[in-house]
């Protein structure tokens, strides 16, 4: 399931362009002007919605997951800024959680931190943290450890950081997937980092080798293939094994050419991305120097 806590003026065509032609279901909360907005999207072949509720601050989707006998509740949250308004939201969500059985997965922008260490150069309101922790405790929710980053929000100049986004689950879900992990992904076009909850580790083995039509027009591709064909030598007698060995030799040469091509064409972009992520990692441990800022 894909969840987004800031969906502004979403249309079905927008969802189709993102999700492709696969069968999907979705539910959303409209934005008010450029403010707010929520959307949750799921694969219809895996998840079937059977209920839910919504308001401007949350989107609750309840349904059944293929292969799972227990109902699953997904709660997409975009909390308000004010401390009293957040307290009202926590009380409302508590009623919804207690009124629905099954697994619970709650995610989004909570606009609140649990501890002082989850903020840097930002004002910390103990009453806000107390209200948030009380909500988590009274509903029996559990938070997965977050990897890759300590913070999920960064101001434009990198001076203010907070952990505003997280995954919370109930004990039934945690007991079913104790090894699940929450990962923070690189931030590109937003002041928030995307986060993802991975429940089942998957290893699909080595990636298959593919040749793309666009490579035929690239400088050096044809020369690489011709040179590899001329330089290949083998003592293998069996024709089929000889042929496989030759293909493997040519494939390895093409891979070398591809790596050089990608490195040359994307050097500036990759360098910028690496520097950006390195700076973002530095913010986890200290503030920027004037030069870094």
pLDDT digits (tens, 9 = 90+) for 249-284: 999 999 899 888 877 777 777 788 888 888 888 878
Whether residue 256 is found in the same domain as residue 123: no
pLDDT at 3 over 70: no
On whether both 6 and 75 belong to a single domain, the answer is yes
Instruction: Say yes or no: 284 and 179 in one domain.
Output: no
pLDDT at 8: 46
pLDDT in the model for residue 135: 95
In a shared domain, residues 9 and 138: yes
- Please report, for the domain that includes residue 109, its CATH number: 3.60.10.10
CA-to-CA distance for 74 and 82, rounded, in angstroms? 24
Q: DSSP character for 170?
A: E
Q: Is 32 left (phi over 0), alpha (psi -120 to 50) or beta?
A: beta
- DSSP string spanning 145-163? PEES-S-SEE-TTS--EE-
220 with 75, same domain: the answer is no
Mean pLDDT, residues 239-247? 86
Range of the domain at 143: 2-198
Residues 139 and 42 in one domain: yes
Helix (H, G, I), strand (E, B) or coil at 268: helix
How is the beta sheet containing 153-154 ordered, strand by strand? 119-120, 161-162, 153-154
Residue among 47, 102, 17 at smallest CA distance from 27:
47
pLDDT in tens, 168-222: 999 999 988 888 889 888 887 788 888 999 887 655 566 677 788 888 888 899 9
Confidence category of residue 132, pLDDT binned at 50, 70, 90: very high
pLDDT value, residue 185? 87
Domains in the chain, number: 2
Whether residue 220 sits in one domain with residue 127: no
Do 137 and 221 lie in a common domain? no
Considering 174, 198, 222, which residue would you say is the last residue of a domain?
Answer: 198
- The answer on pLDDT for 71 being more than 60 is yes
Q: What would the pLDDT profile of 78-113 be if each residue is shown by its tens digit? A: 999 899 999 999 999 999 999 999 999 999 999 999
For the cut 50, the answer to whether the pLDDT of residue 64 exceeds it is yes
Q: Are 235 and 229 in contact (CB under 8 A)?
A: no
Give the per-residue pLDDT at 181. Answer: 86
Q: Do 98 and 162 fall into the same domain?
A: yes
Sequence-ordered list of residues with C-beta below 8 angstroms from that of 288, at least 6 positions apart, any chain: 158, 159, 279, 282
């Amino acid at each position: 399931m894909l969840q987004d806590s800031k969906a502004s003026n979403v249309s079905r065509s927008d969802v189709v362009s993102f999700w492709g032609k696969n069968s999907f279901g979705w539910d959303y909360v409209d934005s008010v002007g450029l403010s707010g907005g929520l959307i949750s999207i799921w694969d219809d072949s895996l998840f079937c919605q059977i209920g839910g509720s919504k308001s401007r601050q949350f989107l609750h989707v309840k349904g059944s997951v293929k292969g799972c006998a227990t109902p699953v509740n997904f709660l997409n949250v975009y909390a308000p800024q004010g401390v009293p308004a957040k307290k009202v939201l926590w009380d409302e969500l508590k009623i919804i959680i207690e009124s629905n059985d099954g697994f619970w997965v709650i995610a989004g922008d909570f606009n609140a931190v649990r501890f002082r260490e989850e903020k840097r150069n930002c004002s910390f309101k103990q009453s806000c943290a107390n209200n948030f922790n009380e909500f988590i405790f009274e509903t029996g929710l559990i938070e997965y450890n977050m990897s890759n980053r300590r913070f999920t929000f960064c101001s434009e100049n990198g001076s203010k950081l907070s952990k505003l986004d997280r995954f919370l689950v109930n004990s039934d879900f945690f007991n079913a997937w104790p090894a699940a992990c929450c990962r923070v992904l690189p931030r590109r076009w937003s002041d928030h980092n995307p986060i993802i909850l991975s429940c089942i580790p998957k290893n699909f083995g080595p990636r298959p080798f593919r040749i793309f039509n666009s490579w035929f027009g690239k400088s050096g591709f044809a020369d690489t293939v011709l040179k590899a064909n001329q330089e290949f030598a083998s003592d293998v007698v069996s024709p089929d094994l000889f042929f496989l060995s030759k293909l493997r030799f040519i494939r390895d040469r093409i891979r070398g050419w591809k790596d050089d091509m990608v490195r040359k064409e994307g050097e500036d972009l990759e360098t910028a991305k690496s520097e950006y992520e390195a700076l973002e990692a530095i913010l986890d441990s200290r503030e920027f120097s004037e030069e870094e800022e």
